[in-house]
Amino acid sequence: GDSVTQMEGPVTLSEEAFLTINCTYTATGYPSLFWYVQYPGEGLQLLLKATKADDKGSNKGFEATYRKETTSFHLEKGSVQVSDSAVYFCALRRWGSGNTGKLIFGQGTTLQVKP
Amino acid sequence: ETGVTQSPTHLIKTRGQQVTLRCSSQSGHNTVSWYQQALGQGPQFIFQYYREEENGRGNFPPRFSGLQFPNYSSELNVNALELDDSALYLCASSSTGGQDEQYFGPGTRLTVT
């Protein structure tokens, strides 16, 4: 079945450091890929998405490129801030009739940014 | 535009009891999906309701059931609570049977003792 695997956390970085969180997926067909962020005590917020191969999703300085050849969707940011400290989830969703549009999530990666 | 709301925020139940969680969808959305997020894990899909009908179900036993009302708000009911049901329960609303972006509520934290 479909699945998403993320790098183990926690990831601890100093402010202004470069961030990469690895995400790989297994799915039939051509799923859409997402990154969600969860701040402490809150629900999930969509950070960015990509719907087809080679698409790049971007938002708030974060980027991820849909790589079908490596089945990956790694999250990157050039310079992290303390306010980026949160849990990040990679997810996929398959389109088309008969699909509920359910999201399949990875296990999450905790990012802690120190001043 | 009002976002997705959930109630209650927290609750504590005893093993064997029953619980009802509530979700109000975002204005204009006709689909509600429920997810269970155990501590330290990613959310797992429980089921989805579209236009008041169940529209898909994840790998959860029948003691997890739901309803959707004409105003598209939804309830998640869990019978015969088990310790492993302790989790954050998230609902997400969307339009078009879940194929559009899903907007998540803040969740209900359920603790079963």
What share of chain A has pLDDT > 70, as a percent? Answer: 95
Least confident window among A40-44, A46-50, B80-84: A40-44
Q: What is the pLDDT of residue B27?
A: 87
pLDDT band, very low/low/confident/very high, at A96 (cuts 50, 70, 90): low
Provide the Cα torsion A74, A79, A83, A84; round to 10°: 10
Q: What is the pLDDT of residues B46-65, one digit of tens each?
A: 999 988 999 889 999 999 99
Name residue, tokens 């989805």: B48
What's the angle, vertex CA B26, arms to CA B23 and CA B32, rounded to 5? 50
Residues in chain A with CB shorter than 8 Å from the CB of B100 are 101
B39 interfacial to chain A (CB closer than 8 Å): no
Closest chain B C-alpha to A70 CA, distance in angstroms = 22
B56 interfacial to chain A (CB closer than 8 Å): yes
Strand pairing category for A86-93 and A109-114: antiparallel
Q: What is the pLDDT of residue A98?
A: 60
Residue A87 has pLDDT above 90, yes or no: yes
Which tokens hold the place of B35? 């997810």
Residue range A73-77: mean pLDDT, rounded:
98
**Rounded alpha-carbon distances, angstroms, from residue A94 to A30, A99, B52, B81:** 7, 7, 22, 32
Residue A63 has pLDDT above 60, yes or no: yes
Higher per-residue pLDDT: A56 or A1: A56
CB contact under 8 A, B107 and A43: yes
Task: Give the distance from CA A95 to its chain's centroid.
Answer: 18
Residues with Cβ within 8 Å of A13's Cβ and at least 6 positions away in sequence, in order, are A19, A80, A111, A112, A113, A114
Q: What is the pLDDT of residue A9?
A: 86
Which tokens hold the place of A13? 């970085």
Residues in chain A with CB shorter than 8 Å from the CB of B94 are 101
For testing the chain B interface, which of A32, A44, A88, A109 should be mutated: the one with the most B CBs within 10 Å?
A44
Residue A90 has pLDDT above 60, yes or no: yes
What share of chain A has pLDDT > 90, as a percent? Answer: 79
Higher per-residue pLDDT: B52 or A75: A75
**Rounded-to-integer distance, Cα A2 and Cα A102, Å:** 11
pLDDT tens, residue order, chain B (113 aa): 568 999 999 999 999 999 999 999 998 899 999 999 999 899 999 999 988 999 889 999 999 999 999 999 999 999 999 999 999 999 999 887 656 788 999 999 999 99
B30 interfacial to chain A (CB closer than 8 Å): no
DSSP state of B31: E
Residue B75: strand, helix, or coil: strand
Cβ–Cβ under 8 Å, residues B75 and B61: no
Residues with Cβ within 8 Å of A4's Cβ and at least 6 positions away in sequence, in order, are A23, A24, A25, A26, A90, A91, A92, A104, A105, A106, B42
Residue type for A57, please?
A: G
Closest chain A C-alpha to B43 CA, distance in angstroms = 6
CB contact under 8 A, B101 and A46: yes
Q: What is the pLDDT of residue A94?
A: 77
CB contact under 8 A, B90 and A44: yes
B107 interfacial to chain A (CB closer than 8 Å): yes
**Rounded-to-integer distance, Cα A109 and Cα A89, Å:** 7
